[in-house]
Chains A and B, each alone.
Chain A
Amino acid sequence: MISAFANPHKFMALSKWLAPACLGVGALLIAYSVWQGLWVVPQDDYQGGDIMRALFIHVPSAWLAMGSYLGLALASFVWFVWRHELADMAAKSIAPLGAGYTAMCLATGSIWGKPTWGTWWLWDDARMMSVLVMFFLFLGYMALRAAMETRQKAARAGAILAMVGAVNVPLIKFSVDIWASIHQGPSVLRADGPAMPAVYLTPLLIGALGHMIFFAGLTMVLMRAEVWQRRSDVLIARKLAGA
């Protein structure tokens, strides 16, 4: 059991400075992109005027919603095969953060959609629908882990669900895209392509990078909390056993 924590020691030493660094760098990049988006970039009816500036949060959070689920699945796989405890802690930490980013994506999409299309919610947008599915995948993962009796069972159940979900994600995305294309509704944001002018694209990409780094920092913070939690659980258990 000692060996299970050997890796975490190195992780704790590393994340002690790396986590704040990521948070700091990420925050700076995000701030830059938001500043660009809100004040500097020219307003344009390209995507519906002023409110399209929500794009600079909406699009990166959509990317992160998808990407973090794959990260969760990857961490689950690593844990399932090699049983590195840190991998399980990473998966457990990513889930609420991923859920938060999906919520942020849906919220900014709604906020942007209302003045533009007159409705708080648009069913026809493929991205919004995919992200909504991601939201339920994250929620299901967290609910399943919480329902398990022991920490080990929660890790195993979560890993199975994450891997099953991950192999389904391409199929889900494909089906949602087909469905959205059939209905050909107005898209919340048709801004993804290289057709987007550089004046928008650059701050967007910088923002996306910033969000990713920030997300990594947040994940490390949650993992550190998880390490501390498990250490205290062990100490409490030993005390109860009268060791």
Chain B
Amino acid sequence: MSSPSPIRAAFRQAIGEAWAGGAGALLPIGFFAGAAMLVPFTIGSEAAQLAAIGTGVLWVALALASLVSMERLFQADLEDGTLQLWAQDETPLFLIASAKILAHWLISGLPLVVLTPVIGITLQVPAGQLVPAMLAYGLGGLAFFLWGGVAGALAASVPRGGLLIALLALPLFIPTAIFGALSVQTGLEGPNILFLAASTLFALAVAPIGASAALRLAVD
């Protein structure tokens, strides 16, 4: 008798789904790059001007890109009946939700993080800030996906709930955005990166529980 491994199974299923979605992983990347590319067209390509707002633009793009595919994360499971099966499993639902959000982050979020130095260079972000930027985006992006997951879970039963998800999630993004942007400037010393890490840890502690409660509501 093998031992049950529901969390790993949920994780693999989520990875498989994101992967099989065809353009699934490419959509946030495309959005991210596209939004960042739009900026020079709108504010001018003067290097100093871009450098001043480059990191900020990246954070905005990251936040919005993390919301792009959030609508389908739980809604698809609700619609095809998978969520109902998970809800009846012995495993606490918040662990299943965490596995799904983490899988979603790996497929849709990490590529953005890897991409940030590339986009950053084009936006005239100073070279010394690129590596702290990646670390900050790694930490911050995870928080975005966690809070986005809560919003996605709450709106799972709402058709075309993308806008609602954005409205619910954006206030929760603010601490991460603030500390993240400050971290990019002050780098690895200073308290800001610690505040950022603390915010993400807080999200790790709270968001899965909120998402799980919302998912139980969705299957009810």
Contacts and interface: CB of A to CB of B under 8 A. Distances in A.
- Chain A directly contacts chain B within the complex, with at least one CB pair under 8 Å: yes
A175 B157 contact: no
B175 A133 contact: no
A8 to B, nearest CB: 24
A171 B214 contact: no
A148 interface: yes
Interface size class of chain B, counting residues whose CB lies under 8 Å from the partner chain: 20 to 34
A172 B157 contact: no
Given A140-B167, A143-B164, A171-B202, A157 B175 contact: no
B174 interface: yes
A90 to B, nearest CB: 20
A147 B175 contact: no
A229 interface: no
B172 A160 contact: no
Interface size class of chain A, counting residues whose CB lies under 8 Å from the partner chain: 20 to 34
A84 interface: no
A28 interface: no
B202 to A, nearest CB: 6
A148 B154 CA distance: 10
Interface in B175-201: 175, 178-179, 182, 195, 199
Contact of A153 (B155, B199, B217): B217
Contacts of A147: 155, 158, 161, 164
A144 B164 contact: yes
A80 to B, nearest CB: 9
A207 to B, nearest CB: 28
A172 B168 contact: no
A237 interface: no
B135 to A, nearest CB: 18
Interface of B: 150, 154-155, 157-158, 161, 164, 167-168, 170-172, 174-175, 178-179, 182, 195, 199, 202, 206-207, 210, 213-214, 217, 220
Given A133-B174, A157-B154, A172-B171, 20 more contacts: A136-B170, A137-B171, A140-B164, A140-B167, A143-B167, A143-B168, A144-B164, A156-B217, A160-B214, A160-B217, A163-B210, A164-B210, A168-B206, A172-B172, A175-B174, A175-B178, A176-B174, A176-B178, A178-B178, A178-B179
